[in-house]
Amino acid sequence: MEKQPAISNANIHSTLLTLQDSMSKLQEIMLKNHTETRADTNELKKEMGKLKAEMKADISKLDEKIGTIQQALEKNELTIKEVEKRAEQTEKNLERVDEHLKTVIKEMEDSLVYLEMDKAATYLRFHNIVESKEEDLEQVMAEILVEVLERDKDEILKELDEVYRVSTNYARRYKCPREVYIRFARRKVRDIIYKILRDETIKYKDKEITVLK
């Protein structure tokens, strides 16, 4: 009966040793897991640090690109404003040139009108001067005007700048001789002839002559 407690103590001791060994192993496992966890945590921190650094670098590059783009936009905006300013100045210059051209054209038109009026002021038109194939029209008209002005033929010829025939619709329609145009050297002579022939009638080859300005 006295030996039973000794066996129980041995069992208890063995059990305690087993528990102690299990606790040691568990402690080792926990320590290992803690170490691995710390290592994983450190690795994760390193990765996060690298990722953060890369993100900062990318953001910095992006900021640089945005800054470059903004500078380019500002430069382009200045260029556009300069171009618009030049275009506005060019438009103003063109308006001034246009006004100047209008003035010049108006002056030219006025000058041409004056020249035409001045030219017309030295012309007379003669209707119904019979034509011939080999006529010397200047001589023919000088002979006619000798009778009108009662002057020497050579003097009359000096007063004639141009003598030529013009085909008109009236002449073609009524089969009349072409009109004779005379440009006189002096308007005074032209006016004298017109005044005389307006009141008197002259003929050439039995045909009555009409005189118009």
**DSSP 8-state class, residue 43:** H
Question: Which of residues 117 and 69 earns the better pLDDT score?
Answer: 69
- Residue 5's pLDDT band, with cuts at 50, 70 and 90, is low
Single-letter amino acid, residue 39: A
Amino acid 109: pLDDT: 55
Residue 208 structure tokens = 């009555």
* pTM (two decimals): 0.46
Distance CA 97, CA 155 (A): 51
Helix (H, G, I), strand (E, B) or coil at 114: helix
Amino acid 119: pLDDT: 61
Residue labelled with tokens 């040793």:
17
Amino acid 194: pLDDT: 94
Single-letter amino acid, residue 120: A
**Least confident window among 1-15, 44-58, 137-151:** 1-15
User: Within 10 Å of residue 202's Cβ, how many Cβ atoms?
Assistant: 15
Q: Does 122-212 carry CATH code 3.30.70.1820?
A: yes
Amino acid 7: pLDDT: 55
HSE, side-chain direction, 13 A CA sphere, residue 92: 6
Distance of CA 125 to the CA centre of its chain: 50
Amino acid 118: pLDDT: 53
The H-or-E segment that residue 42 falls in is helix 4-120
Distance CA 27, CA 34 (A): 10
- pLDDT tens, 12-38? 778 888 888 888 888 888 888 877 777
Residue boundaries of the structural domains of the chain = 122-212
**Least confident window among 23-37, 97-111, 171-185:** 97-111
